[in-house]
Structure 1
Amino acid sequence: MSATSLPEQKKVLRARLRRLRREVAATRGEELAARAHAHLLASPLWRQARSVALYVSLPDELDTAPLLDAAWQAGKTLYLPRVRQQYGLMDFVAVGGRDELRPGPFQLLEPLDSLPGFGPDAAGAAFRPDIFIVPGLAFDRQGRRLGFGGGYYDRFLSGVRAQGGDAGPRPFVGLCFHCQLQDALPAEPWDERMTHICTDREWLCL
């Protein structure tokens, strides 16, 4: 077993994967994102979903803008995250178009403050999207996710799983460039796992 602690392993991985992601996004980002979009949009999970929890991508992430447009054009209810930085939490907000977004923390566009949001405690009742599409610096073939270090998604998705009820868990889809898909990632007990991974090369059901 490595003497390096899990937090230190994650720190090193995050630095390496950020560099790799920036390089790929700058050189082939648009082409590879289009391939990943095709895999996701062709999947039964997306086609059958009436509501989708998505996110607005960072400049060097796999671009999600075409997915936002696809959801709106198909008449799906689209939920986007809004960070509550002072509490270390986030909520999800039903957004009807880009005019309902404004600049938020972490260089992200977020739903307007005036719009009602749902926390994980609402999962299974008022808030139950048919599919969650989740960002990450990396994913592995067992569904593990390496996030950005803030814990926002792990806390939220843990609450969603806890509120799953009789209807069972929701599909959690990790979306990334294929270079971000690893054979194995260091994991801690609170790290939430994906049920599917979507890259520019593969659609994995786990």
Structure 2
Amino acid sequence: MESGAALLGPGPGNMAALQAAKKALRLEMKRRLAALSEAEKLRQSAAVSRRLVAHPKYQNCQRIAVFLSMTDEIQTEDIIKDVFQCGKECFIPRYKSRSNHMDMLKLSSAEEIHRLPLTSWNIRQPAEDGSLGEALTSGGLDLILMPGLGFDKHGNRLGRGKGYYDTYLERCLQHSKGSKPYTIALAFKEQICDQVPVTETDRPIDEVLYEAP
């Protein structure tokens, strides 16, 4: 774990303090995001997208997982279009709402997104009919783009509390015998914190990409 992380041990007192700290930080992040105008979110999304497509890890990857954005996240539609224009393979999440299980399923085109069903979170994801190929059973991933509510400069990430990405990264490690895809979080600059509280099960990400102040 990177130095500077707010790492707390497994004791019940520490876990209660950790959950309280995460809850408070989630509320603060949601407050910051709610204060952003739609125009500002689109402006920062465009700036982050430009940084990503110029990034060597993106340029050199072939198989990439991209999240489909909620309204308070960096918008990824232009990134997905670029993935297909560059001839890369694109995978998107399918979450199971009653567990922390997530698969990354292959898209055939950027236009296919608009034909996918909407979830209760008002984002689109593949139906559970098994018609799309899963990344880990068809060659793995080179790069995963990560969403989240808050991030710090040590690579610590505050998710929404379900553990989907931490669990998926663990599956990546098991599937590839210890190696994992490179991970880049996409963030608004307002989502950058001094410190995100974490435990030993929270997996740090390799890099956070945002518009520098």
Q: TM-score range by the shorter chain?
A: 0.7 to 0.9
Tell me the CA shift for residue 24 of structure 1: 2.1
Q: Which amino acid aligns with 1:196?
A: E
Once residues 184 and 161 of structure 2 are traced to their aligned partners in structure 1, the CA distance between those partners, rounded to angstroms, is 19
Moved over 6 A (4+): 1-4
Percentage identity across paired residues of the two chains: 24
Q: Which of 198, 206, 209 is the equivalent residue of 1:187?
A: 198
Higher relative contact order (CA 8 A, sep 6+): 2
TM-score by length of 1: 0.87
- Is 1:56 the counterpart of 2:71? The answer is no
Quote the residue 1:103 is aligned against: 118
Once residues 129 and 179 of structure 1 are traced to their aligned partners in structure 2, the CA distance between those partners, rounded to angstroms, is 29
- Give the length in aligned residue pairs: 197
- Superposition RMSD on alpha carbons, in Å? 2.2
Q: Which amino acid aligns with 1:201?
A: A
C-alpha distance after superposition, 1:71-108 (max 9, x if no partner): 11212110000012233311110011333522123221
Q: Which amino acid aligns with 1:131?
A: L
C-alpha distance after superposition, 1:118-173 (max 9, x if no partner): 3xxx74x524111000100011111111000111111111221233327x332011
Q: Which of 7, 12, 36 is the equivalent residue of 1:24?
A: 36
Quote the residue 2:3 is aligned against: none
Tell me the CA shift for residue 199 of structure 1: 0.6
Stretches of structure 1 that go unaligned for 5 or more consecutive residues are none
- Is 1:80 the counterpart of 2:92? The answer is yes
Stretches of structure 2 that go unaligned for 5 or more consecutive residues are 1-7
Q: Which amino acid aligns with 1:32?
A: Q
Tell me the CA shift for residue 59 of structure 1: 1.1
TM-score by length of 2: 0.84
Quote the residue 2:128 is aligned against: 113
Once residues 19 and 101 of structure 1 are traced to their aligned partners in structure 2, the CA distance between those partners, rounded to angstroms, is 30
Quote the residue 2:4 is aligned against: none
On the 8 A contact 2:100/2:167 being kept in 1, the answer is no
Q: Secondary structure at the match of 2:94?
A: strand
